Structure 1
């Protein structure tokens, strides 16, 4: 490390959220960039991979009327392979760009621990509360989504041997235990296991799809659609890169300046994996592929892939719950001994927070029949900003306050333009995604497809 880098590292150490830790009982800053990458892959790839093949598949039907009052042909249509693949790659590159803006912002402001802290710097007290609440909602809904994946896995492996709600409760209890370690360093090896688990799950799913392809599948390279149908099909790729806790992860790194190495690893792995998995599964299963894709495999292969992915669903759910608890815990005890010492109050509050995050996720997942659509709404409202839009505000804020105010924005007009376009993209995804998700809920109720709460 050069003398300049050492000096910058010392300044960061003095002002960051956890400060010096040599004499602390609980030391947070223990993560290497490799394990940050594993933790991010474990959480993000889990949800994205299983929904992407469905984004390539049919999202509706249309009738071609020959104008003579005779029977019409019903054809399944979707965005197809080409647009979905291009979008997946583009969003991966875009996500890497916004990750760079986020990392730079964190290095410039070491006291930022989460999106709420960033919101306070840019938008004031209201920004802190809005972004903090948004992070917690998204994390809890993410926990619920993983709980449902775990329940599906247990139901498949047990041939529905127990009521689905009972299996959900069992998986929730295990998820709570995974979330309990106070530091992400304690969970780092679980991140590696989780990454191996979801990778193996995807490889086995591709093999299973190839061994037993759908005979009646329909495959489309490109198909025109209405705006609603098209955006419905691309919500999978859009939210497959959702990064809502990168600040929290960087805060627990030994060397925060290495954070971009983790971001590169995540985006390269996720983009390549998403592209290969979604194309292979869609080619073999076509328009019949469901979401999650594992449900479209034969019974034997579905069990095999769910078994392989079970560890990932469990660990990812624990990571989401840990994130929600960590945000509140640091907010309560920042700079106090309860944050870094083994005090009764510290451990009591931490345990309650982890339990509350998991319990709320369980209640939502079990009691709300349209929970999956609510997850989409939360992703539209928050993930669109956390992953894409708000990064533009990070760049504008630092260029203005750290580099010469208005003159810097004019002088660096290229960066200013990219930042404004990034904000605009986040706003568009937020509005369009929310519209599509709400319309899905309305249509589900209208069609009678909504189930009952706490049903088996």
Structure 2
């Protein structure tokens, strides 16, 4: 374990050494020496994971979270109105920052935690481990598929729909697969820099395009009275636009200084919340209530093509990050504490390649083979992302306070924090139940209206 990290002061004044003594060892062990002596003249170059700076983690987080999800935000404003919509976006950004802090604190106290599955083992035992690990993999695969569909829409728009949609998805899936192969996140981090630039520039281009070619006679509402179903299904767009916390443990595990993780989280949330609010407001003001989801599809054709073309690298890298996350969870679980984790072995690389291919292949098959895949993304996000981003973070703090600070008396000594974390848990529960309900109702409505097509449809 990094000696500087051990020396720094941690949670509530405890040293990192005390924390490590009371909990498990770091998931990747000691990586100070990246070479292992094999003989007097032969060395083996080892794979080092703990290489990320907080700046690169911030880039990875932005590349993963600020992606095609933001393109649905203007349509959410059209349903609930610009004022409630913007208030919700800002509130969720602040809420996501708070839950990120809870996740980071838990990770610092439990350096053995590599994924939500490991956290589930601490909270709920073996059953919790399988549920949270399975949820992470399922949501990551669905998120990869969502990015493949975003790439499909972009490629179709750029080429005026000259090819079969399934072919567009296949074309986009190939570079997504290739970019998923690096074993460590630092290699993905460097290619995530152009990914962040692409989505930022694409958003600016989209706003400029909307401003230059506004929709005449558009209608803009300050606030819209609506029923629960319509309101909540639109609210899920900004809720899940922040749904990237399920990757935090994996990213922090590969940091050189995990205690700097909140710097990355603050950078992410400030950028995401500001960019989301500005983009949603500007596009909605110029396009009005008829704005499509994704929003780029409402732009003048030339500006639409420019925005989609610039955004393509972000869709690709975000999909690669999701597939990498699902693969990494399995890989670390299989080879934890074995030489295959850090060494260039046939078993290690063979397993990694197979896992990456399986995760990307599953995402592709689901995206093109399941007619209701977009609705299933909503269900997966409700069942898992709602907990990973919001609810479960409250349980982490309540668990550590109870077990490490003296039981229920520890909760009583911090009534405000206890109340906040309890409300956080209940919020996750509400989003999970309500989001699942509206997603299932949307599927039923789609089948009744005949909007559901055939699988593998061109």
Distance 1:338 1:217 in 2: 60
Q: Work out which of the residue numbers 341, 347, 366 in structure 2 matches 1:364.
A: 366
Match of 1:55 among 67, 76, 80: 76
Aligned pairs, how many?
436
Q: CA deviation at 1:162?
A: 2.0
Q: Secondary structure at the match of 1:385?
A: helix
Aligned to 2:311: 309
- Give the structure 1 partner of residue 219 of structure 2: 218
Instruction: Tell me which moved more, 159-168 or 27-36.
Output: 159-168
User: Paired residue for 1:19?
Assistant: 29
2:379 corresponds to which residue? 377
Pair 1:16–1:218, CA change in 2 (3 A): same
Deviations for 1:227-257, whole angstroms, at most 9, x for unmatched residues?
1111112111111111211000000000000
User: When the two structures are superposed, what TM-score results if normalisation uses the length of structure 2?
Assistant: 0.93
Distance 1:361 1:193 in 2: 24
Q: State the Cα distance separating 1:138 from its structure 2 match.
A: 0.5
Which residue number corresponds to residue 441 of structure 1? 443
Q: Counterparts of 1:287-326 in structure 2 under 5 Å? A: 287-326=289-328
Deviations along 1:256-312, whole A, 9 cap, x unmatched?
000000010010100000000000000011111111111111111111001100000
Q: Which ranges in structure 2 are unaligned for 5 or more consecutive residues?
A: 10-14, 36-45
Which residue of the other structure, out of 49, 67, 78, is the alignment partner of 1:46? 67
Taking structure 1 as the reference length, the TM-score comes to: 0.93
Alpha-carbon distance between aligned partners in 2 of 1:351 and 1:455, rounded to the nearest angstrom: 29
Once the two structures are TM-superposed, the CA of residue 214 in structure 1 deviates from its matched residue by 1.4
RMSD, matched Cα: 1.6
Structure 1 consecutive aligned stretches of length 4 or more whose deviation exceeds 4 Å: 1-4, 9-14
- 5 Å-filtered alignment, 1:50-449, equals 50-57=71-78, 78-242=79-243, 243-449=245-451
Evaluate the alpha carbon distance shift between residue 119 and residue 193 of structure 1 in structure 2; reply closer, same or farther with a 3 A threshold: same
- Residues 123 and 2 of structure 1: CA distance in aligned 2, closer, same or farther (over 3 Å): closer
Distance 1:377 1:406 in 2: 35
Contact 1:12 1:107 in 2 (8 A): no
Name the residue aligned to 1:63. none
Larger mean Cα displacement after TM superposition, 3-12 or 354-363: 3-12
State how far apart, in whole Å, the 2-side matches of 1:449 and 1:248 are. 38
State the SS of the aligned residue for 2:215.
coil
Per-residue deviation at 1:23? 3.6
* Aligned-partner Cα distance in 1 for 2:271–2:144: 23
**Match status 1:5 vs 2:19:** no
Distance 1:143 1:411, change over 3 A: same
